[in-house]
Structure 1
Amino acid sequence: MSSGADSNEVYQQEIWVSSREHIAYVIDNLEDDNVMASYESLYSVNLLRSHRLVSYAILKSLEKSSRKAHLYANLVSLIDCDIPECGELLAEQCAAQFVEWHRKGLNYAAQSSLISMLGELFKLGSLHELVILELLQLLTTSDLVSNVGLTVDLMERAGRTLSEVSPAAHDMIFEELRSQLQMRSFDAKAERRVSLLFDARKKEYPVSASQEISLPPHDSVVHVFDLGELKVVSLEGLQRFQYDAHFFELEDQFESIKNAALERFPVAKNETDAFVVHDRTQSEDIQFKKSIYLLLKGSLSGEEAAHKLLKLRVRDEEKSRLVYVLAMTCSQETTYSKYYGLVAERLLSSHRAWKKAFATVFEENYTEVDNFKASQIRSLGKFWGHILASDYVGFEVFECIHMSEAETTPPKRVYVKFIFQELVAELGIPNLKARLDESYIQPFLNKIFPTQSAADLRFAINFFTAIGLGILTENLRETLFSLEAQFSAGEFEEKSHCPPHDLAIEAPAKSYVKKQELSEENQAAQDFVSGRDPSSSRARKAGPSTRPRSRTPLRQRSRSPARRRSRTPPRRRSRTPTRRRSRTPTR
């Protein structure tokens, strides 16, 4: 092969890979309101060459769920108008794969998805009734119990159309189901599904609103084939690259088909040019929070509330909103109720996606705690302490807390206090200390237990000592002592080059500064307990003058006990004038 052919093959491979990624994106994001927009988007790649990739993406999605089977059928029926190879390949592979799995008894969920897809294609007129009747014959002649469920899946989607094109065959299928229901024993779920199918037959198969899609009128291409002659093509074979010697001729041919297709359905172009309206009234958010709040208040137990919340099937990106409503509802209580902690435990044990949502809300609550009331701070602190004690959410969330005087406020410190008090109440101090000392958690605790700054070290030690958890600061105290020792050693080496009389002069001042630091530390611990601002205490202590005390020794007080003063009231002096003594000599 020449160099020109090699470069052409490389170019075709690049086009093939980009087409595969684009088609997979369109199929994954297909919804009820963007079918026409997805149809137009698919025409940005050459579907004459890439129709195998469309079948591959749809079959890959059907292995997971049949929820979008009606959307895939509508999309393929539109493409069939210009490129019938796309619908034909998809229908053949769905039928061939279903027959193979059914004979081997494999992957019942995927069989249900494939049979549902075939029923949707038949309902839209893209599949002949002979294929459906052949499938029903295969299901009704087998003795497998699972065939009843598959028959119900197919008739739910294709029953109405089958009753119109072949009423005799339609009635025969129901007679077969009735006889099997009477002659054989099925589980309660299968019997209920068959009963619902008979009810739907009486009502002429009502169509749910979720499956009604408005499409422009178009002529469907009907595909028919024999199930016995089909060959299964693996998914890897569908997406495998094949070199095309007539690459550019096929590009010109597809360009003309593309122009004709987009002119036939101008609705697709109008949808893409429509204005996007954004709801800025937050009505949806308010309604969501209201429903969660009423659900929590209307449940009798935490298990019941968690079960109702899980039944909502909230998307992963919406889970943090639900957790935020749960935390705010807990904060509205007069006193903390463990009901909310049990709800949180049940949610966290259901799926790992909830752990990320709870960690996000924990950081939000810590950031907004300055706006909460005292009772709300207490309830939130106990709520998060309960969750952290259960170990469903790890201590990694403490990474957002920086225990320093500059980066904390009194509400934040009180919030952290209630969290640790609840942890102690749930775990006990030994277990709490053991969990905090684990090696893997240390990188996440270097802010709430700082080790770099001596000022932050003293602040953290004073805080935890004030709330009665000084035992958690043993490592911090050792770190602080080592920092002070290093500082003292460096200061002594620096002063060793000075004259001796300088050291003697500075010694009293240094001892005075040390005593002043100790008194400030004690006062800071008292401020944490009383809730006062430490800076105001230091201002009161400072006074007008900061000169060192005199070195003159103070006079000692006498140890002799002081004389007690008599409590007897003094005697009043008489107002009667004193009598003068006579000067006459006595006889």
Structure 2
Amino acid sequence: MERKSKKRSRRSSSSDDSKHADDKRKKDRKHKDKDHSKPSYKRYYGEDFDKKKKNSDRYWNKYAKDDEEPLVGSRYYEDKKEEKKDEPVVPKRPPRKQVDMLTSRTGGAYIPPAKLRMMQAEITDKSSAAYQRIAWEALKKSIHGFINKVNTSNIGIIAKELLHENIVRGRGLLCKSIIQAQAASPTFTNVYAALVAIINSKFPNIGELLLKRLVLQFKRGFKQNNKTICISSATFIAHLVNQGVAHEILALEILTLLVETPTDDSVEVAISFLKECGQKLTEVSSKGINAIFEMLRNILHEGQLEKRIQYMIEVMFQIRKDGFKDHVAVTEELDLVDEEDQFTHLITLDDVVQTNSEDILNVFKFDDKYEENEGKYKLLSKEILDDSGSESGSGSENEGEDEEEEEENGTEEKNELIIDNTDTNLITLRRTIYLTVQSSLDFEECTHKLLKMQLKPGQEIELCHMILDCCAEQRTYEKFFGLVAQRFCQINKVYVEPFQQIFRGTYATTHRLDANRLRNVSKFFAHLLFTDAIGWEVLEIIKLNEEDTNSSSRVFIKILFQELAEYMGLIKLNKRLKDESMQGHFTGLFPKDHPKNTRFSINFFTTIGLGGLTDELREHLKNAPKVPQFVMPQNTEENSSSSSSSSESSTEEESSSSDSSSSEEEKRKRNRSKSKNKVRRRNRSCNNDSSDDSNRKPNRDKKKKIIKENS
């Protein structure tokens, strides 16, 4: 059969040849005449003969030879059906469950804004969960849209548009959107920081929430050794420090954490962080930034890091040497919030934990008082926008009319003089100075902040009074306040005279100060005198005698000179007090007008342990002419009579200069009394025994001692 099939194929291929056509006809006739009912004898062609034959029969019987054979090829289709029965049946998937957008946690699929507004309009009950959920979705889309559109030129417009939205309700969405946008485009970090500064000035809780999330993100990246997250979050924190949203202590903590145990990645993050906020840290905390650069210098000298990191450290030192001119803290376009209006958050790395992130604010939550809260926020946003509009002075459509009205108002204001007798500005100034002093880390930061306040002429003395008052109210004296006052006097000589004036007023009213305040004030002025911040001529107000001093003023002088001796040493202090050009100002401290005042000054300085300052006074008192003793303690009647006679004679001599007539009579009486006393002495001397002479010797010795002590 195989040969027959081959012959058939050959004949079909050569149908054009007449010879082959005749052979084909003969074969066809034989094939019809042949009886197919008889079995054909099987010949051996090989092992695969049956299989090949079966395949060939299946192929040739696929199509019917004529129209009368309808069952031809049925075997082929039956085999195909059996094969299909053996194939595994794939189960049909169940229909996908449709998630309702109003009940899903994340909001479901994207809904076009037009359809969202239409759905919101269909719901009439505004207190329902469906309406609040749709409003939440609209709030989220608007916040994302505004954050994605913000840049340097339109930041003011975007800030106003954001304030129109309820960012108090969506503060979690706002913080999340800003952090994601900053991580996606780090080059706009300063723009996002400026936007946060504007929002923080109106809503400090939003700025605090964003700062806490950034700190948590930085800590998470630091633990996971993820340099990308650390750099992005640290850069954002650095710009928030520049804007005054975050305190510089947080920046110093981050730098210390990165540099304390240096690795290649940690030092790289620290350098990128320093580039962004190095200028700000240099202004507000020079000691802290010096310590960080000293640690970087030690790391560079050790040479254990890669060459690339070492080159980065060297470049950082060069940037610092140039004054960070290519890395300005805040550009003029983004300096939109005054320091007085800004709220600075003092947050440390240890204060922030995972619960502070408040991730629950990122998802929808049903509000029972939705309409009431929305109404409150609308009033609040209206007040904020009205205030900002009045401050910015945005013009209306009719600019010409506004200009005319402003001119008229200006002329009226010039004619009217308003006098404020409530001292509101003074109280506000004092409060600002007090808060600035208390919030400063060191005296240099405090001085810098106070100098940037730009005081009006005449307000310098208020600043000096506030510094002294802050110093006086401390439990113990703090050198911080003395250094602040010293720096002010050295920077601008305008502050010298107010402090000198305050010294004179304080000495005159020392009796009003308690012991603690008196001690602090004395040490404060001792520091100013030691550093020559104020002139030593202020000491001319001190009159060191019994009549012009009281207990409080003597305590003030005592603490003042003891502190000066501790600062300068007794030799330098004595040399300063003996300066010939200043002797005219120290006459009250070391009086030479009367021996009594001289002795008082000597005894005072000797009592407080500074007797070495009175050597010149002792010499003066020793060489001064003797003054008759007015009061002499005597044991006998004889001495009492002589003392009374001497006192009478002295008083009579003084009165003789006034009236000549009365003096002559007094002289006669005095002569008579003297003669009587002489007679009495002679009589007593004659009647006394030798034993009396022995008793008089100790009395004489006592007299000599008393005279020496008084001299």
TM-score range, shorter chain: 0.3 to 0.5
- TM value normalised by structure 1: 0.43
- TM value normalised by structure 2: 0.36
Structure with bigger gyration radius: 2
Q: Which has the higher contact order (CA 8 A, sep 6+)?
A: 1
